[in-house]
Amino acid sequence: MDNNENLRRNDSSAIAERKKRRRLEAIKRKKQQKRRRIIFTIVSIISVIILGTIGYVYSFLNGLKTNTLGEAVEPASSTEPVNILLLGMDIGDVENEYNTSARRTDTIMLVNYNPNTKKVNVVSIPRDTLIEVDAYLDTGEYQRYWKINSAYAIGGQEEIIKHVESLLETRINYIVEVDYEAFRNIVDALGGVEMYIEQDMYYDDDAQDLHIHFNAGETVHLDGQKAEEFFRWRKNNDDTGLADGDIGRISNQHALMKKLVEKSLSPSIVLKIPEILNIISENVRTNMDSKTMTSLALKIIKLNSSDIVMNTLQGVNEDIYGQSFYVVYNDMNRELINAINSENEADSVLTSSIKREDIKILVLNGTQINGLAGNARDELISLGYVNVDIGNGNPTEESVIQLANNDYKNLISRDIKIDKFSKKTDEEYADYDIVILLGTDYNLFGEN
């Protein structure tokens, strides 16, 4: 009896164990099925997004206004930098939007992509930049000196391309024209950005239906309309505003563009691609073919925001025949020009984002030659430095440049012919980034 009882118990235990295993296996199968359903759902959603995006891309490429701006100049090789001239067009003739002869370029930028470094240099060209053109005013009066934002109205894209190529010693491959309607719509599609307002902005222009009202110290969510207002502001109704005019305006534009670039490169933006492509196809003109555009877009979308560097063409304000112009000297932009033209990786990366107008310099005369420091200051100012003081230093035979930061070395060494450098340690000159002590060996910028 005992043996039979034990057998029955063992059989019952075995049956219970089998049932338990079957229940566990059933639960496992259900979990696997659920997991497969979730994976299938995710894959299906991604597939729909990809297919939808591809469909929109094809529709976009078919609808894009290409080959409307003259013939493109293809890069000579796959390693050659690509230059795209980006023009932001103003309204022009408010009564006739099709009168393109009245349109001016409110914003001029060169977008330079280097396939070797996989970096982008954006170069803003101030709209008051001096150009020389044999052309006539509406009154019939001959004029030789013009601002570059008039070039498009004078001779179309060929005229403005010619001057940008001359200023940057480069070749434009493609041109893209964007109006403010496209700008507003793209910002709205991105969802806008948050922007801190550094100074009061109050400007009204009824003719352009432009009304700008921002208060200093507030952080504002900029939708498309407000982003345009921030982007275009230059001065207030009472003529107060940016001390450096268009250069300050460009600084504001760069700050906004950095925010938009960061937003554009975020993963969530993929869902908004179709809407953005529709906007571009309706409002953008270019001579870039669809294959090139797709190839460049796929490369640029992989970049980080730190791979995109904003620059401004350096120059000085000068009055010529009663007009104020921004005069660009190539020597002031040599590093930038080399960077956008070089296929060599080392030369194509800007060594520093430091700008001449941001550096505080003290020039000390360590000789008995009267006016030596003043002459050096004048030359530095002509090169774009704006914060330059002078004084007398201890007598010395050997000239030396003292640096608070070694990042200044590459820039200042190109602008003044002094070979000796040292670390600035004197607390008396703590307010200066660079102290230049002129000795008896000093020849003014290579001249006797």
* Each residue's pLDDT expressed in tens, for the chain with a length of 448 residues: 555 565 555 566 666 676 667 776 666 665 555 555 544 444 444 444 444 444 455 555 555 655 566 788 888 888 899 999 999 887 554 444 454 555 678 889 999 999 988 888 999 999 999 999 998 888 888 999 999 999 999 999 999 999 999 999 999 999 988 888 888 998 998 999 999 998 899 999 988 888 999 999 999 999 999 999 999 998 899 988 876 777 888 888 888 888 888 888 777 777 777 777 777 777 788 888 877 887 887 788 788 877 888 888 888 888 898 899 999 988 778 888 988 988 765 455 554 557 788 899 999 999 989 889 999 998 898 888 889 999 999 999 999 999 887 778 877 887 888 888 888 877 788 899 999 999 998 865 444 3
pLDDT at residue 39 in the model: 46
What CATH number belongs to 82-341? Answer: 3.40.630.190
pLDDT at residue 161 in the model: 95
pLDDT at residue 208 in the model: 81
pLDDT at residue 103 in the model: 61
Block residue for tokens 């000093």: 442
pLDDT at residue 32 in the model: 57
Domain ranges of the chain: 1-63, 82-341, 356-446
Are residues 142 and 136 in contact, defined by beta-carbon separation less than 8 angstroms? yes
- Alpha-carbon distance of 421 to 400, in angstroms, equals 6
pLDDT at residue 113 in the model: 93
Q: Write the class of the CATH domain 356-446.
A: alpha beta
pLDDT at residue 47 in the model: 44
Are residues 213 and 225 in contact, defined by beta-carbon separation less than 8 angstroms? no
Are residues 408 and 354 in contact, defined by beta-carbon separation less than 8 angstroms? yes
